[in-house]
Amino acid sequence: MSKPVILTGLRANNDLTIGNYFGAILPMIEMAERRAGEFQINMFVPDLHSFTTPIDHDRLLEQILQAGRMFVAAGLPLDHDDINLYRQSYVPAHSELTWILDCFTGVGEMGRMIEYKDKSAKLGDDRVSVGLFKYPILMAADILLYGAIYVPVGEDQRQHLEYARDISERMNTHFGELFTVPLPLEKQTEFFGKGQALRIMDLADPSKKMSKSDESGKGVIFLADNPDEAAKKIMSATTDDKASVNYNPIEQPGISNLLQILALLRGHPIDDVEAAYKGQSSYGDFKRMVADEVAGFLTAFQVKLADVDDNAVISAFERSEKIANEQANATLLKVQQAVGLRPRD
């Protein structure tokens, strides 16, 4: 890799939400457009991550293509030499490096991962897979194969990024300079800015983040939602009894969440949006206005999504996968040589 690498991906097996769009997809596309030329931008579909928890495997192929369509509909250019869009499973080095890293990782390390503890507690012992347990190791392979120094992560992934740093430093100490070590969390935040920590909250329960894996979907706006149904979710959003629109996520989380959504839809600072509606007493009128803007956004986005050329997406996948395989295989060979699997030069 001749340029430093920024890497990001979104699992393909869940419908994406407006939180994913404004908190992950759109910022990374804006970053790609702004930084391409200076950085290599790897935006990949982590399809191997998709079945760390139970899914409908009959739908996975279509969902992988849909993830590509989503990036394009959100504005990702497919013709820039420094922007790669690829499918994880089409680069076999991800799986092989994961196995090697497995053998240098302790069971205790993985057992301490908070996301694993949370998800396994929800699933129950009989549904927890080994894949879920060692998911951070696959994520580390995703990063280290390309020497990515910048990786935007949410709160639930920060521990995994720290593991990627730990295992790369451990391997480098043991075998020499195999890997580029991702930058620490404080440098990541400094580079990506506050937008990396954006959290759109659940409409029904604004104490928790809006999640694409939410089973009920009542408090979640999915990008594939019927616009009228999405508007109804906004109208049913939990608020409070203060009868005063204010941005106060602690005391008024529901109303604050709606203000945040409105600010994102309009592309305006939250302070400006709050100033425009501060103190408004009719929550119904405020919700109706937010609901109309959400419906309008979804309508426009879904038109763009329907216009995406599938052949163009597949061609972009294939072009980028050729590049990704060349780069990943070069890193894997260094590791294979270091651990004794291949002759050393």
Q: Which of 117, 122, 194, 209 is catalytic?
A: 209
Q: Which CB contacts under 8 angstroms, 24+ apart, belong to 23-26?
A: 23/154, 23/195, 23/198, 23/199, 23/200, 24/152, 24/154, 25/70, 25/71, 25/74, 26/74, 26/75
Q: Which of 119, 233, 287, 334 is catalytic?
A: 119
Query: Token digits for 326?
Result: 């060349």
Q: Does 212 qualify as catalytic in the annotation?
A: yes
Q: Which of 3, 212, 304, 322 is catalytic?
A: 212
Q: Does 322 qualify as catalytic in the annotation?
A: no
Burial class (CB in 10 A: 0-12, 13-18, 19+), 332: buried
Q: Does 209 qualify as catalytic in the annotation?
A: yes
Burial class (CB in 10 A: 0-12, 13-18, 19+), 240: middle
- Tell me the C-alpha distance between 144 and 63, whole Å: 26
- Tell me the C-alpha distance between 172 and 175, whole Å: 5
Distance of CA 131 to the CA centre of its chain: 19
Question: 85 pairs with which residues across the strands?
Answer: 43
Residues identified as active-site: 119, 209, 212
